[in-house]
Amino acid sequence: MKSYNPSNQKKILGGAAFLAIMAVAIPAFAEEAPTADSVAGTLIQLAYSIDTFYFLMSGALVMWMAAGFAMLEAGLVRGKNTVEILTKNVALYSIACIMYLICGYNIMYGDALSSVIPGFSLFGLADNTVGDVLASGGDTYYSNLSDFFFQVVFVATAMSIVSGAVAERMKLWAFLAFAVVMTGFIYPVEGYWKWGGGFLDGLGFLDFAGSGVVHLTGASAALAGVLLLGARKGKYTDGRVNAIPGSNLPLATLGCFILWLGWFGFNGGSELKISNIEEANAVAMIFVNTNAAAAAGLVAALLLSQAWFGKADLTMALNGALAGLVAITAEPLTPSPLVSTIVGAIAGIIVVFSIVFIDKLKIDDPVGAISVHGVVGLFGLIAVAFTNPEGSLVAQLIGAGVIFAWVFTTSFIVWLIIKLTMGIRVGEEEELEGVDISECGLEAYPEFTRK
């Protein structure tokens, strides 16, 4: 005979309660069987939730790229400039978020005046209602606010590209003043021309996730700033190019891995949908192609650096991986994994030649951003004409030319105004002792000071 156990009584009472509930619920379900419309509505809401969640998580991955840029740049500059470069990265991300919220998003996706001239309005973000979603029959499949979040982290990415190119000699507040204009106006206008339904989109210009809209844009703005800023002291002397090594290559490598990870959200999220088999397969293909291009870019750059310089250059390898990622961003869906690998390998080779050539032109880019995001961004756009059956080489070249002309010209004007008003470069003594002290009042690594 079993001894008394209080848990047995709880089980009996629980079972009785369950039976009582079912006795009431089953007839109710029988009386109110779900209709075809209610089932369809439920499925539409479920798909909307899944796609919105995927959009938000992709945006979170892209936001994590801000950390990647910060770590990469901090590792590739000298220790005496570390705090300032980190300050720039966290500040530019915040400015991008504010400016895109105030006006940038509405310029890019608001009511336009024409296919060339976007509209302009402040704030005005509104989300979908249940009625809106159901009435669309599933055509409205993600939250408007999730779209804003996904787009705003792309803006920050474009601005992060500028940060590394002007490192170690630009005034912090001059850089942040430019960030206001770049993220609130320059980027949204050219973004409207393609992603907002403007004339580049109508022309047939293809840019799946932003080799041009994001990366070429960031590089063009960086080039304009670097030309006005000039090279770092000691970079070019007596006709020679002097290497200025970074202070923390483990940190730079970590930054590369973070960017690599974030790029899955960058490219994968740009599919915009994952809630059915076809879209899920497309996202999987994008992930595989993105990874393949990055891996091939790194290996190609590493092999070329060994053959050319007689050593396995880590910084070239890191930039090779990023070059592969930038190149495949223009079209990560239509090529096969093998073709994506080839695209990435070519990008890895191009970036090594570009970094060396730009140095010979005495254009000082401490992290190779102009080569990685600009030169390779252009290559990625051109490659679309050969990897996407709908691609047109003429349309791709026109799109790239328009983006470069707009961003470089407007950026040069803004940089020049800032230079003439508040100045863009720190003094020679401040540069020699490190901008951490002059710009941020902090000496991060005393042992590197004045080196």
Highest mean pLDDT among 120-134, 213-227, 234-248: 213-227
On the question of pLDDT at 6 being above 60, the answer is no
In terms of average pLDDT, the best of 31-45, 126-140, 318-332, 428-442 is 318-332
Distance in angstroms (rounded) separating the CA atoms of residues 212 and 307? 31
How many CB atoms lie under 10 A from the CB of residue 61?
Answer: 20
Number of domains in the chain: 1
Q: Given this model, what pLDDT does residue 30 score?
A: 47
Q: Identify whether 413 is part of a domain.
A: yes
Residue 23 placed within a domain: no
The stretches of 77-169 forming alpha helices (DSSP H) are: 82-99, 105-109, 130-135, 144-165
Q: Read off the pLDDT of each residue in 234-258 and give the average, rounded to a whole number.
A: 93
Tell whether 7 is covered by a domain.
no
Q: pLDDT over 70 for what percent of the chain?
A: 90
- Cα gap 190→402, rounded to integer Å: 8
Secondary-structure percent of the chain, ordered helix, strand, coil, rounded to 5:
75, 0, 25
- In this structure, which amino acid lies at residue 166? V
Strand partners, 425: 170
Given a contact cutoff of 8 angstroms between Cβ atoms, the answer to whether 433 and 450 are in contact is: yes
Read off the tokens for 156.
């920050």
Check pLDDT > 80 for residue 200.
Answer: yes
Residue 297, in any domain of the structure: yes
Do 63 and 153 meet the contact criterion of CB atoms below 8 Å apart?
yes
Which structure tokens are listed for 322? 């990023």
Residue 103 forms part of a structural domain: yes
In angstroms, the CA 169 to CA 247 distance is: 16
Structure-model confidence comparison of residues 30 and 270, the more confident one:
270
Joined together, the tokens standing for residue 433 give 């002792």
Asked if 253 and 314 touch (Cβ cutoff 8 Å), the reply is yes
Say whether pLDDT at 381 is over 70: yes
The two beta strands, 240-241 and 236-237, are: antiparallel
Report pLDDT for 14.
46
Number of other residues whose CB lies within 10 A of the CB of residue 350: 24
Asked if 229 and 166 count as a contact pair (C-beta separation under 8 A), the reply is yes
Output the pTM of the full model.
0.88
What is the pLDDT, as a whole number, of residue 132? 86
**Residues of the domain holding 107:** 38-448
DSSP state of 420: H
Domain of 149: which CATH number? 1.10.3430.10
439 in any annotated domain: yes
Lowest-confidence segment of 82-96, 126-140, 288-302 by average pLDDT: 126-140
Q: Is the pLDDT of residue 359 over 80?
A: yes
Instruction: Tell me whether residue 320 is in a domain.
Output: yes
262: its two tokens = 């974030």
